[in-house]
Amino acid sequence: MMTARKEGATVSAALLVDGEPSSALTTTAEERSADLIVLGAVHDRSLADRLLGTVATEVTKRAGCDVLVVRPVDEQGDLEVPEDAPRV
**Bridge partners (DSSP) listed for residue 40:** 70
* Residue 44 clears pLDDT 80, i.e. is over it: no
Distances (CA, A) of 71 to 28, 31, 38: 22, 26, 11
Mean pLDDT of 52-70: 86
Inter-residue long-range contacts of 7-14, CB under 8 Å, 24+ positions, other chains counted: 9/36
> In this predicted structure, what is the pLDDT of residue 16?
80
Sequence length of the chain is 88
The predicted model scores a pTM of 0.63
Q: Cα 31 to chain center, whole Å?
A: 17
How far, in Å, CA of 53 to CA of 76, rounded? 24
- Helical (H) or strand (E) element with 71: none
> In this predicted structure, what is the pLDDT of residue 64?
95
